[in-house]
Structure 1
Amino acid sequence: MAGIFEVFVDGESFFRFRLKSPDGVVIAVSTPFEDKPAVVAGIAAARECAGMGLVTDLCPAAGAREPAGMARPMAIPRNAGPQACDEPRKASDGFRTRAKELRRAATAPRWTGAA
């Protein structure tokens, strides 16, 4: 099951939307919008970007604090290639071509003919 977008009015009388997972956990909350059409456009933009969104690693080189009782992960060697943390990962042309095909398939009519 997919996530659920909820439109609501915040304490400052602005419109916002939140994305909830199927089990009811809030995943994201939007910035404030002036009116409902703007919120709908924001939801459409979030839907369009979320499926093919790239991930950018903004973690410091030193890493995050480790929680108590957790085993420490293995270190990635510096010569491990593009999957190493310090090197940005480059998308290959094949990935971009496949992404375009998926976008075209998603925007194509889902069915044809009369019901």
Structure 2
Amino acid sequence: MAGTFEVFVDEESRYRFRLKSPDGSVIAISTAFEDKSAAVAGIAAARECAGMGLVTDLCPAASVRNPAPVARPNVLPPVCDDRHRASDGFRTRARELRRAAAAPRWTGAA
């Protein structure tokens, strides 16, 4: 099960959203928004950026330990010829389906 976004009104009567994990713990809380539509746009932006977000390590170098080596299975290199390439129409349709799945879904509780 995926996490859920909740839109709520904070103490200053401004809209915010929080991301909750499947077990109910709060993972993130947004900044304040003027109206509900701006909060929904913030959720859409968070959904789009979260999957592609880069990780930046801001820890000092002295605190990083060398991890134990991990055994990796032998993986064959991808075949790079045209007969294995998917058509552009397939990729376009898949992109449209991902965008539709990322659209805001209201539960009616707000």
* TM-score (normalizing by structure 1): 0.58
Shift of 1:74: 4.3
**2:17 counterpart residue number:** 17
* TM-score (normalizing by structure 2): 0.60
Residues in 1 aligned to 2:6 and 2:91: alpha-carbon distance in whole angstroms:
26
Q: CA RMSD in A?
A: 2.8
Q: How many residue pairs get matched?
A: 78
Residues in 1 aligned to 2:48 and 2:60: alpha-carbon distance in whole angstroms:
29
One-letter amino acid of the structure 2 residue matched with residue 107 of structure 1: E
**1:54 counterpart residue number:** 54
> Unpaired segments of 5 or more residues in structure 1?
65-72, 77-100, 111-115
Shift of 1:103: 8.9
For residues 15-54 of structure 1, what are the structure 2 equivalents within 5 Å? 15-54=15-54
Q: Which has the higher contact order (CA 8 A, sep 6+)?
A: 2
Identity of aligned residues (%): 71
Say if 1:25 and 1:75 are closer, same or farther in 2 by CA, change over 3 A: closer
For residues 58-73 of structure 1, what are the structure 2 equivalents within 5 Å? 58-63=58-63
Task: Flag the structure with higher helix content.
Answer: 2
> Unpaired segments of 5 or more residues in structure 2?
69-89, 101-110
